[in-house]
Amino acid sequence: MIKYSLKAEPEAAPAADVAIGEHIAPVPRISIQAFCESAETAAVIQIAGEDRRLAKAHLKMQMGGIAAAVEAYKNSPTPNVIMIESESRGDDLLTGLDQVAEVCDSGTRVVVIGRMNDVVLYRELVRRGVSDYLIAPVGPLDVMRAVSGLFAAPDAKPVGRTIAVVGAKGGVGASTIAHNIGWAIARDLWLDAVVADLDLPFGTAGLDYNQDPPQGIADAVHSPERIDSAFIDRLLSSCTEHLSLLAAPATLERVYDFGADAFDAIFDVLRSSVPCIVLDVTHLWTGWARRTLIAADDILLVAAPDLANLRNAKNIIDLLRASRPNDRRPHYCLNQVGVPKRPEIKPADFAKALESEPAAVIGFDPQLFGTAANNGQMIAEVSARHRTAEMFQHLAQLLTARSETKRAKGGLLTPLIEKLMGRKA
Ligand SMILES: Nc1ncnc2c1ncn2[C@@H]1O[C@H](COP(=O)(O)OP(=O)(O)OP(=O)(O)O)[C@@H](O)[C@H]1O
Ligand SMILES: [Mg+2]
């Protein structure tokens, strides 16, 4: 590893120490990708990445600056944060960043490390939605301060979004779909995800991910006074590099009658530290289940193609739309479609009754789903190129708002505006 040394004069190099009273908050479980141009900056970012404050983040780094970033994201989703070093000046820098914006997913925050200290340039960067601009040479603390500031500022958006998956009836495959989507978000979108199994007595997430953790969501919901991010962290079991599970106990000694707000604190903590939280909401109509759906950032309703599912789906969607007038409408998908000899209601009839097209129509495939369930595997692990595996990828993109990937323009974020105003004032 290249050793970092402060080459410039102290006044040219931003503060190398944390100022007295300054607190650089540890960053959540975000993904960061850095594209450097100089070995010095690369070394500094590497050091920052090893700091305790970035311990939860996943940092990848490569050389090549703007050009490498554009190339990297042409066909793949962008992480939570992109750091780009550029030695270009003025218009060259802005043109390069415009190319990055074209391949950048909305929600991704861009931090630029440049050479110029120029207020006109700052303004143009703000206009393009760049979240922060650091002037090289930078130190590890500058990097940490910038990344931490994106998430710790009082007005920063919470890092995490909840996606609730619920069945229109019992047994329609909602949990299977939730688990596969969580897995796809972590593997294909490179976003850290937690799957929370809210079916406390009978949940199957542990089985599906081949995990048998001794602790999980019950420990949290039964100890509300202990809930904070360190406590929830200890209850998570790691399934893959980016995927963790908040498992259900799946035991029957206790009953699980909760108040309507019993899970609020757990979800708040998860939202503050994990980009994507998939809630496997069982088919129930309790106070907490309804509240979980209404409060979710996005909803996927899973229905099988029969009349009871259609009626329930309509009721659930109507209720959710009325309770969430300013939100995206809930998505729904049809599952277990095409059972031999079974009369079924057609996707077009669902679309008419529910006033929107299904986000996916997943075929009935007992061989594939049965193998996955019995082996504790995901569909893509049983059959990587299967159409159903691709549908889970598609649903993962849709539900993380990464579908219209390559069109995020302007307004990536605004913290730099405040910074700029502070400077001007
Ligand atoms: N498309 C499919 N083809 C065949 N089998 C499927 C399909 N989708 C799910 N299954 C199977 O259906 C069964 C029920 O699935 P799952 O437990 O995910 O449903 P659920 O809606 O979560 O049920 P519950 O109401 O108990 O929470 C599982 O055995 C699963 O493997
Ligand atoms: Mg279930």
Percent of the chain at pLDDT > 90 equals 77
| pLDDT of 12 higher than 70 | no
What one-character-per-residue DSSP string does 36-66 give?
A: ESSHHHHHHHHHHHHSGGGTTSEEEEEE-HH
| pLDDT of 22 higher than 90 | no
Does ligand 1 have an atom closer than 6 angstroms to the CB of 340? Answer: no
Query: Largest Cα–Cα distance in the chain?
Result: 79
85-89, 163-167, 307-311 — which is least confidently predicted? Answer: 85-89
14-18, 204-208, 393-397 — which is least confidently predicted? Answer: 14-18
Higher-confidence residue: 403 or 33?
Answer: 33
Give the closest ligand to the alpha carbon of residue 391: 1
Nearest residue by C-alpha to atom 15 in ligand 1: 173
Task: Please give the pLDDT value at position 18.
Answer: 61
Interval between CA 305 and ligand 1 midpoint (Å)? 14
Task: Please give the pLDDT value at position 21.
Answer: 58
Is the dihedral angle over the CA atoms 208, 212, 218, 220 positive or is it negative?
negative
| pLDDT of 405 higher than 90 | no
Give the closest ligand to the alpha carbon of residue 167: 1
Distances (CA, A) of 27 to 32, 58, 104: 11, 10, 21
Query: Rounded to an integer, what distance in angstroms lies between the CA atom of residue 76 and that of residue 160?
Result: 20
Does ligand 1 have an atom closer than 6 angstroms to the CB of 282? Answer: yes
pLDDT, mean of residues 189-206: 96
pLDDT classification of 126: cutoffs 50, 70, 90? confident
| pLDDT of 136 higher than 90 | yes
pLDDT, mean of residues 252-276: 94
pLDDT classification of 11: cutoffs 50, 70, 90? very low
Nearest residue by C-alpha to atom 31 in ligand 1: 369
pLDDT, mean of residues 26-50: 95
Query: Rounded to an integer, what distance in angstroms lies between the CA atom of residue 275 and that of residue 27?
Result: 11
Does ligand 1 have an atom closer than 6 angstroms to the CB of 174? Answer: yes
The answer to whether residues 169 and 308 touch, using CB atoms and an 8 Å cutoff, is yes
Query: Rounded to an integer, what distance in angstroms lies between the CA atom of residue 47 and that of residue 206?
Result: 36
Interval between CA 329 and ligand 1 midpoint (Å)? 24
Task: Please give the pLDDT value at position 55.
Answer: 87
Higher-confidence residue: 61 or 406?
Answer: 61
Task: Please give the pLDDT value at position 336.
Answer: 98
DSSP H stretches of helix in 169-306? 174-188, 205-208, 217-221, 229-235, 264-273, 287-295
| pLDDT of 409 higher than 60 | no
- What residue type is assigned to position 201 of the chain? P
Nearest residue by C-alpha to atom 26 in ligand 1: 171
Higher-confidence residue: 423 or 23?
Answer: 23
| pLDDT of 29 higher than 60 | yes
Task: Please give the pLDDT value at position 25.
Answer: 85
The partner residues of 279 in beta bridges, in order of sequence, read 164, 196
Task: Please give the pLDDT value at position 61.
Answer: 96
- Chain segment 285-297, per-residue pLDDT in tens: 999 999 999 999 9
pLDDT, mean of residues 115-133: 90
**Residues 6+ away with beta carbon under 8 Å from 9:** none
- Chain segment 139-195, per-residue pLDDT in tens: 999 999 999 999 877 777 678 999 999 999 999 999 999 999 999 999 999 899 999
- Residue 71: φ, ψ to 5°: -65, -45
b/e burial code for range 404-415 (CB count within 10 A of at least 16 → b): ebbebeeebbeb
| pLDDT of 326 higher than 90 | no
Interval between CA 347 and ligand 1 midpoint (Å)? 19
Does ligand 1 have an atom closer than 6 angstroms to the CB of 392? Answer: no
pLDDT classification of 13: cutoffs 50, 70, 90? very low
Instruction: Using the atom order of ligand 1, give the atom closest to the CA of residue 280.
Output: 22
Q: pTM (2 decimals)? A: 0.81
Mean pLDDT of the chain: 89
Does ligand 1 have an atom closer than 6 angstroms to the CB of 167? Answer: yes
- Residue 209: φ, ψ to 5°: -95, 5
Task: Please give the pLDDT value at position 17.
Answer: 60
Does ligand 1 have an atom closer than 6 angstroms to the CB of 204? Answer: yes
Does ligand 1 have an atom closer than 6 angstroms to the CB of 208? Answer: no
pLDDT classification of 53: cutoffs 50, 70, 90? confident
Does ligand 1 have an atom closer than 6 angstroms to the CB of 90? Answer: no
Task: Please give the pLDDT value at position 20.
Answer: 59
| pLDDT of 362 higher than 50 | yes
pLDDT, mean of residues 73-88: 94
Interval between CA 173 and ligand 2 midpoint (Å)? 7
Looking at beta carbons, which pairs linking 362-365 to residues 24 or more positions away fall under 8 Å? 362/173, 362/177, 362/333, 362/334, 362/335, 362/336, 362/337, 362/388, 362/391, 363/336, 363/337, 363/338, 363/387, 363/388, 364/336, 364/337, 364/338, 364/339
Nearest residue by C-alpha to atom 25 in ligand 1: 170
Does ligand 1 have an atom closer than 6 angstroms to the CB of 373? Answer: yes
The answer to whether residues 173 and 221 touch, using CB atoms and an 8 Å cutoff, is no
Instruction: Using the atom order of ligand 1, give the atom closest to the CA of residue 336.
Output: 1
Name the token pair of 162.
């909840």
Q: For a pocket test of ligand 1, which of 166, 169, 175, 195 has the largest count of ligand atoms closer than 8 A to its C-beta?
A: 175
Q: Coil, strand, or helix at residue 141? A: helix
DSSP H stretches of helix in 135-194? 140-152, 174-188
pLDDT, mean of residues 81-91: 94
pLDDT, mean of residues 317-346: 95
- Chain segment 56-68, per-residue pLDDT in tens: 899 999 999 999 9
pLDDT, mean of residues 351-373: 98
Interval between CA 330 and ligand 1 midpoint (Å)? 20
Nearest residue by C-alpha to atom 8 in ligand 1: 173
| pLDDT of 229 higher than 50 | yes
Interval between CA 9 and ligand 2 midpoint (Å)? 61
The partner residues of 59 in beta bridges, in order of sequence, read 32
